[in-house]
Amino acid sequence: MKFFIVHAHPEPKSFNGALTLHAKEILQTQRHEVIISDLYAMQFDPVSDRRNFTSQKDANYFKQQAEEAYAAEVNGFAPDIEAEMEKLFWCDMLIFQFPLYWFGLPAILKGWVDRVFARGRLYGGGNWYGTGIFKGKKAMLSLTTGSDEPVYREDGLNGDIHKILFPINHGIMHFVGFDVLPPFIVWSASHISDERRQGYLEEYKQRLLTINKTPSIFGGNLLGMLSSHNQ
């Protein structure tokens, strides 16, 4: 398989860094191909505006989705954006590796999504959810939290982690057609022992080795739920 890991942590020696490195080693040992976009190391620009494009549909009024659709027609995406899109089309499995920031993605990773998940290229024209561009490909979130697991239960202080991750799993990954696998979560990463960290690395290894046996968390065709994505 071809794995594409989008890594979003500023410290290479962090446990997020260890998880990405571990994944690369395990997967390559199994003769899988691995590409990593380390967003901080790349100094990826998360700001989405006309810098996304080399083309220009309307010079007087910027509407991102219209510019995306036009760029898809005329091959008008900026080289850095085009390169990330090509990785998505290349891969069989997409992994987001990140620390949970304020109940969501770190800004650099959200900006990556804002710029790379472009209308006309990754979705649109009836291509979403069950008919999405990436139908048949898999995706998974691998993340760390700052608090223990009980805090992220339905009755916990922060609420159900699966509801917190729903906008990412459903509104980003599944929206463009990925079969989304259950997230791999390291609870309270900065407060656990080295022994527990080693345990998590072993658990992650087993998750990666059983990817093809892991069912998607979403089933059925949700196309009818969406009539328009224009904003």
Work out the percent of the chain whose per-residue pLDDT is above 90.
87
214: exposed, middle or buried (Cβ count in 10 Å: 0-12, 13-18, 19+): middle
Mean pLDDT in residue range 53-59: 96
Does position 37 have pLDDT exceeding 50, yes or no?
A: yes
In a domain, 224, yes or no: no
Residue 190 pLDDT:
87
C-alpha dist (Å) from residue 32 to 25, 43, 98, 149, 202: 10, 27, 22, 32, 18
The model's pTM: 0.91
In a domain, 225, yes or no: no
In a domain, 53, yes or no: yes
Q: Which of 108, 101, 97 is nearest to 20 (CA)?
A: 97
Question: 121 lies in which domain range?
Answer: 2-213
In a domain, 218, yes or no: no
Instruction: Give the CATH number, domain containing residue 37.
Output: 3.40.50.360
In a domain, 6, yes or no: yes
Number of structural domains found in the chain: 1
Which residues in 110-141 are b (16+ Cβ under 10 Å) and which e?
A: bbbbbbbbbbbbbbbeebbbeebbbeebbbbb
In a domain, 32, yes or no: yes
Residue 223 pLDDT:
36
In a domain, 108, yes or no: yes
CA distance 184 to 181: 9
Q: What is the pLDDT of residues 152-167, one digit of tens each?
A: 998 999 999 999 999 9
- Residue type at 157? L
What stretch of H or E contains 3?
strand 2-7
More confident residue, 23 or 154: 23
Residue 225 pLDDT:
34
In a domain, 106, yes or no: yes
Mean pLDDT in residue range 100-124: 96
